[in-house]
A and B are shown apart, each in its own frame.
Chain A
Amino acid sequence: MQKLHLKVTNYTPEILLDCDNGIISMVGKSYPENTFEFYKPVMEWLEDYFDGNAKEKTIVNMEIIYFNSSSSKLFFDFFDLLEEASSDNKLDINWIYDEENESALEAGEDFQEDFEELTINLVKK
């Protein structure tokens, strides 16, 4: 399988899905007009990756400054997919936030509480 790299835009994050090094990373804002359409290739890549193509350990770095409510739902599905994958895969998940941005921290805490089987590290930038 191949790496997927989506460049940052004004309303979507930079997304790097690197199967060679086991890195999943999203950095930026997320408020696309058609959220599920935009993230469809990302979710498909992830399904494919965890279907026998994953590295021994996968690092997930999420640094989302702010996002709209449909992105919030999408990220919920994203963590849900990770939770399913976590039984067979070693995952190191980081929710990265700016110390001054309490809302980004709260968003990370929400995901922590919703996905108790995952270890989501809240990491100050």
Chain B
Amino acid sequence: MLDINRLENILEDDGIVFLSYGGFLSQALISGMTEALEKESKINDINMTTSSNILTIFIELSQNMMNYSKVKTSSDDSFDSKGLIVVGYCKDDDSYYVLSRNIISHDDKRTIEPKIEQVIPLNKAELKILYRDLRKSGKGMHDKGAGIGFVEVARRCDSIEYNFSPIDDEKYYYAFKAIIKNKQKD
């Protein structure tokens, strides 16, 4: 029998506000979680800028995972679509974080990694320029993930951590964490 109290203690100790694990992420699920996060923000009286940044990053990362697993499951029967997404609060430095983790292929690591490495060293002004450049060059393009997603996330958070941990020759656990400092209400 699952010890639900133990699970609850883990969540509370780590300041986890929200978590979803396993199975398919659907638009309905993402939307429901967004709504719950919105309520959470109101109850905790979080500054509107902070909460809008958390929500935007949450939507970006979860829709990324959803789209990725849709593409993958249609082309690869053995693909494991289990994804993890966590929204948490860190008391020590009064910050929130959004963490996503899923399984990706070696090829996809090669596409994703340079995109993350490109945004990490940039300051807010440089990110703004890159964002506007990419958006302009993507004019009229309807495909997903033309690369502004990571720039959007980087603009709206204070730091990014990421990790690729190999499962076997072909697959990796890909974890991405965006940390959002809580802007105090005036």
Contacts and interface: CB of A to CB of B under 8 A. Distances in A.
User: Are both chains from one complex?
Assistant: yes
12 contacts: A31-B30, A31-B31, A32-B27, A36-B142, A69-B152, A72-B152, A73-B139, A76-B135, A77-B139, A102-B49, A110-B131, A113-B132
Given A33-B63, A36-B142, A114-B132, A66 B56 contact: yes
Contacts of B138: 73, 76
Per DSSP, are chain B's interface residues mostly helix, strand or loop, or mixed? helix
Contacts, number: 69
Interface residues of A, number: 26
A76 B59 CA distance: 19
A33 B48 CA distance: 24
Interface in A26-65: 31-33, 36, 65
Interface of A: 10-11, 31-33, 36, 65-70, 72-73, 76-77, 80, 98, 100-104, 110, 113-114
A59 B35 CA distance: 30
A103 B56 contact: yes
B49 A68 contact: no
Interface residues of B, number: 33
Contacts of B105: none
A68 B55 CA distance: 10
Contacts of B144: 70
Interface string B119-141: 00000000010011001101111
Given A10-B35, A36-B142, A103-B56, A73 B148 contact: yes
A2 to B, nearest CB: 26
B58 to A, nearest CB: 10
A6 to B, nearest CB: 16
A116 B130 CA distance: 18
Given A10-B34, A33-B27, A73-B141, A65 B52 contact: yes
A72 B63 contact: no
Nearest to A76: B135
B156 interface: yes
A69 B130 CA distance: 14
B60 interface: yes
B139 A80 contact: yes
A65 B148 CA distance: 19
A77 to B, nearest CB: 6
Contact of A101 (B48, B60, B128, B139): B48
Given A11-B31, A110-B131, A114-B132, A68 B48 contact: no
Contacts of B56: 66-68, 103
